[in-house]
């Protein structure tokens, strides 16, 4: 899919943080509080060992038992620890709430945006990847907060505070500890080199696993009918195993470099500190310093380990956020009408005086899905209001494409289309969808009840739904289902026959009371008897609704006011049935005679 062309890393990081900012903006005050509590907690934690040191060096060792001051120091030690835990709790709750709300907002943003994308985007999109954008990648943005930014901030504060406290206690010891720290950076760098590729690979493979799963479930009947279970199983096993290997490589890097290497380093530091103390003729007054230093050593190493671990998370989160940002950058269809509704006109703007305007006027229309492969050539056509037009032609001649352009699924490249006198790209989206109804070539049903499938969230009354179902002659079979209009139809309407699905799709289109009704092969899957029923329904619409029907079965459109015969994207013949039958050797005549023979 298009968003796979990933931007450069620097740009990615900027993109990721811009997105994070957008998602978290309404929660900014929470962020401020969380940062403040975090800083306070970290500082209190650094203070603890200093009080411990004072207790040991000033009171315990010299046996200077000043009880009130000792009690105060002890209380301070307990209190700072206690308050620090409390602050950490508050910070975590605020931050997690904020992160989760950001994910929620981000998902809403992504899904809302996907709903607006033009059809040409979905020609290229891979469903599994798109789903993963909305679920996994937005979740990664949350990690960017909790796991990355805050842990890094936390660790940095603790690290700086600890080093400052060490300097305060004994600057020579501190310099020695500091001098050894670059070794940690080397370990970090090694870890990065080793684990980053494995992490990226593991992620890509997990996305593949999702994709293969989705594809197989979607096409299970085809898969089983072609005896492809074993092949798909093997393909899945290979991907699954690759994923395992990549994860294992990642784990090896973690297991080697993070804990053991850094823990070893911790022990070296400890030995060095003790060695220096030993060399210096330790006085009794320095035992407390040793205690404090040993306490602090762990606090120098731990934040470094934490920061190290965050790097791979950061990388993942940035890549994921950048993918989300790229998706959000995909231009939505008809953005101008969404952005400036005031400028947009709608097709029914002048319902009273547009009677003379054609329902559809197409002028010199050219179109190609991919550059260089023109599908429609210089098409011009005018359809009066209330007329019944049929479109016929060989497979691939461009019939569905013409309807897609009328439906504004794709922008026309050259030429213009106007509906009721208004150019397509100036029509307000909502109004446009209400005026133009579609019965598509493959009727798409939701995994919902018959009622919901006709309603499509428009909030129609039972009366309106039934009227539409009756007009489409779907009422009888719907009421015969075990729960009538409330019968769940299964995913993709799997409980119905293809013809029944088509009748539901017709009812759905009619329920919107469109002024223009487009039918793409609406009769191809129904028997002759049902086809006659649909024809009766079409007849009832005559004069009230402009009907444009594509039909392979020519009997459906025999009675059309005019039939357009498409051939390789050009209009080859046009006229009513009788007239077209007069053209000897004409395309329509040949098609018709062939069908007569077959019948």
Q: Rule CB under 6 A: is residue 369 a binding residue for ligand ATP? A: yes
Which window, 4-12, 150-158, 393-401, 525-533, contacts ligand ATP (CB under 6 A)? 393-401
| 189-198, long-range: CB < 8 A, 24+ apart | 190/257, 191/253, 191/254, 191/257, 191/258, 191/308, 191/311, 192/311, 192/312, 194/253, 194/257, 195/249, 195/250, 195/253, 195/254, 195/257, 195/312, 196/312, 196/315, 198/246, 198/247, 198/249, 198/250, 198/253
Query: What is the arrangement of strands in the sheet containing 422-423, beginning at the earlier edge strand?
Result: 374-383, 360-368, 414-419, 422-423
DSSP code for 569? T
Residue 131 vs residues 138, 156, 358, 492: alpha-carbon distances, Å: 11, 36, 42, 18
Residues that contact ligand ATP, how many (by CB under 6 A) = 13
Does 401 help bind ligand ATP (rule: CB under 6 A)? yes
Give 369 or 444: the residue with its C-beta nearer to ligand ATP: 369
| Cβ proximity to ligand ATP, 244 vs 369, nearer residue | 369
29 or 590, CB closer to ligand ATP?
A: 590
Q: How far is residue 387 from each of residues 136, 383, 384, 410, 563, measured CA to CA in Å? A: 50, 7, 6, 24, 11
Question: Can you tell me which residue has the tokens 């231009």?
Answer: 331
Q: Tell which residue, 484, 482, 458, 447, has the closest CA to residue 469.
A: 484
Using the contact rule CB under 5 A, the part of the chain among 263-271, 386-394, 433-441, 561-569 near Mg ion is 433-441
Nearer to ligand ATP, 69 or 377 (CB): 377
310 vs 397, which CB is nearer to ligand ATP?
397
> Which residues 109-128 are close enough to bind ligand ATP by CB under 6 A?
123
Residue 393 lies near ligand ATP (rule: CB under 6 A): yes
Minimum CB distance to Mg ion, residue 400 (Å): 3
Nearer to ligand ATP, 123 or 540 (CB): 123
Q: Which of residues 397-416 bind Mg ion (CB under 5 A)?
A: 400
What's the rounded Cα separation, in Å, for the pair 287 and 112?
64
Task: Report the b/e string of 406-437 with b at 16+ CB within 10 A.
Answer: bbbbbebeebebbbbbbebebbbbebbebbbb
Q: How far apart are CA 193 and CA 187, in angstroms?
A: 10
DSSP string, 354-390: -TTS-SEEEEEEEEESSTT-EEEEEEEEEE-TT-EEE
Q: Indicate the residue among 400 and 589 with the shorter CB distance to Mg ion.
A: 400
Site size for Mg ion, by CB under 5 A? 2
Binding to Mg ion by residue 589, rule CB under 5 A?
no
Nearest approach, Cβ of 113 to ligand ATP (angstroms)?
21
Q: Decide which of Mg ion, ligand ATP, none touches 369; Cβ closer than 5 to 8 Å per partner kind.
A: ligand ATP
Binding residues among 427-456 for ligand ATP as defined by CB under 6 A: 441
Q: Could you say whether residue 26 binds ligand ATP (CB under 6 A)?
A: no
Segment interacting with ligand ATP (CB under 6 A) among 59-67, 297-305, 311-319, 397-405 = 397-405
Q: Indicate if the alpha-carbon torsion angle 453, 513, 528, 595 is positive or negative.
A: negative
CB of 361 to ligand ATP, least distance (A): 20
Please, which residue, 293 or 588, has the CB nearer to Mg ion? 588
CA angle, 247 as apex, 241 and 253 as ends, to 5°? 140
Judged by beta carbon distances under 5 to 8 A according to partner kind, the member of ligand ATP, Mg ion, none in contact with residue 227 is none
Pairing of strands 570-575, 562-567: antiparallel
Least distance in angstroms from the C-beta of 217 to ligand ATP:
23
CB 49 within 8 A of CB 288: no
Whole-angstrom distance, CA of residue 110 vs CA of residue 330: 11
Nearest residue to 126 via CA among 114, 141, 140 = 114
The option from ligand ATP, Mg ion, none interacting with 398 (CB < 5 to 8 A, set by class) reads ligand ATP
Whose Cβ is closer to Mg ion: residue 374's or residue 441's? 441
Report, in Å, the least distance between residue 129 CB and ligand ATP. 18
Measured from the CB atom, the residue of 245 and 441 that comes closer to ligand ATP is: 441
Q: Does 129 bind ligand ATP (CB under 6 A)?
A: no
Residue closer to Mg ion, measured from CB, 66 or 442 = 442
Per rule CB under 6 A, is residue 399 in the interface with ligand ATP? yes
Site for Mg ion in 434-493 (CB under 5 A): 441
Is residue 375 part of the contact set for ligand ATP (CB under 6 A)?
A: yes
Rule CB under 6 A: is residue 491 a binding residue for ligand ATP? no
Q: Which residues bind Mg ion (CB under 5 A)?
A: 400, 441
Q: Which residues bind ligand ATP (CB under 6 A)?
A: 123, 369-370, 375, 393, 395-401, 441
């Amino acid at each position: 899919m298009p968003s796979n062309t990933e931007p450069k890393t620097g740009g990615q990081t900027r993109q990721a943080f811009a997105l994070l900012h957008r998602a978290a903006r309404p929660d900014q005050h929470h962020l401020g509080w969380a940062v403040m509590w975090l800083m306070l907690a970290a500082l209190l934690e650094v203070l603890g060992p200093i009080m411990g040191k004072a207790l040991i060096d000033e009171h315990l060792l010299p046996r200077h038992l000043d009880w009130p001051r000792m009690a105060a120091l002890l209380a301070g030690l307990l209190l700072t620890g206690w308050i620090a835990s409390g602050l950490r709790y508050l910070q975590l709750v605020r931050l997690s709430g904020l992160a989760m709300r950001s994910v929620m907002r981000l998902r809403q943003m992504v899904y809302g945006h996907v709903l607006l994308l033009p059809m040409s985007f979905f020609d290229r999109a891979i469903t599994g990847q798109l789903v993963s954008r909305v679920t996994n990648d937005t979740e990664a943005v949350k990690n960017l907060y909790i796991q990355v930014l805050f842990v890094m901030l936390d660790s940095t504060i603790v690290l700086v505070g600890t080093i400052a406290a060490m300097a305060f206690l004994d600057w020579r010891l501190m310099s020695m500890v500091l001098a050894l720290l670059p070794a940690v950076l080397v370990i970090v760098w090694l870890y990065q080199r080793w684990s980053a590729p494995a992490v990226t690979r593991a992620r890509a493979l997990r996305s593949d696993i999702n994709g293969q799963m989705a594809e197989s479930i979607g096409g299970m009947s085809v898969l089983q009918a072609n005896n492809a279970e074993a092949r798909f199983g093997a393909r899945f096993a290979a991907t699954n195993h690759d994923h395992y290997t990549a994860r294992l490589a990642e784990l090896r890097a973690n297991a080697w470099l993070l804990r053991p290497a850094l823990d070893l380093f911790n022990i070296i530091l400890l030995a060095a500190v003790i060695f220096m103390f030993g060399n210096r003729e330790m006085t009794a007054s320095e035992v407390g310093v040793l205690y404090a230093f040993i306490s602090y050593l762990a606090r120098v190493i731990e934040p470094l380990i934490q920061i190290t671990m965050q790097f791979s998370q950061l990388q993942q989160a940035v890549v994921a956020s950048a993918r989300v940002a790229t998706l959000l950058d995909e231009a939505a269809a008809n953005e101008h009408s969404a952005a400036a509704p005031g400028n947009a006109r709608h097709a029914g703007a002048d319902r009273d005086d547009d009677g003379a305007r054609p329902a559809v006027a197409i002028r010199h229309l050219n179109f190609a899905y991919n550059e260089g492969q023109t599908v429609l050539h210089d098409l011009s056509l005018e359809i009066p209001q209330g007329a019944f037009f049929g479109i016929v032609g060989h497979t691939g001649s461009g019939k569905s494409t013409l309807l897609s352009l009328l439906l504004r699924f794709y922008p026309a490249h050259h030429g213009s289309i106007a509906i009721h006198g208004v150019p397509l790209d100036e029509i307000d989206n909502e109004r446009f969808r209400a005026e133009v109804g579609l019965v598509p070539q493959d009727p798409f049903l939701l995994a919902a009840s018959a009622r919901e499938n006709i309603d499509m969230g428009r909030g129609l009354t039972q009366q309106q739904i039934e009227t539409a179902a009756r007009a489409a002659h779907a009422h009888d079979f719907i009421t015969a289902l075990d729960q009538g209009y409330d019968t769940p139809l299964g995913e993709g309407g799997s409980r119905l026959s293809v013809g029944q699905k088509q009748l539901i799709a017709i009812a759905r289109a009619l329920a919107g009371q469109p002024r223009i009704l487009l039918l793409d092969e609406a009769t191809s899957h129904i028997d002759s008897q049902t086809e006659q029923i649909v024809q009766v329904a079409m007849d009832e619409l005559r004069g009230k609704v402009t009907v444009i029907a594509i039909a392979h079965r020519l009997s459906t459109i025999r009675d059309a006011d005019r039939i357009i015969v498409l051939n390789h994207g050009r209009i080859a013949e046009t006229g009513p049935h009788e007239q077209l039958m007069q053209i000897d050797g004409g395309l329509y005549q040949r098609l018709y005679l062939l069908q007569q023979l077959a019948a």
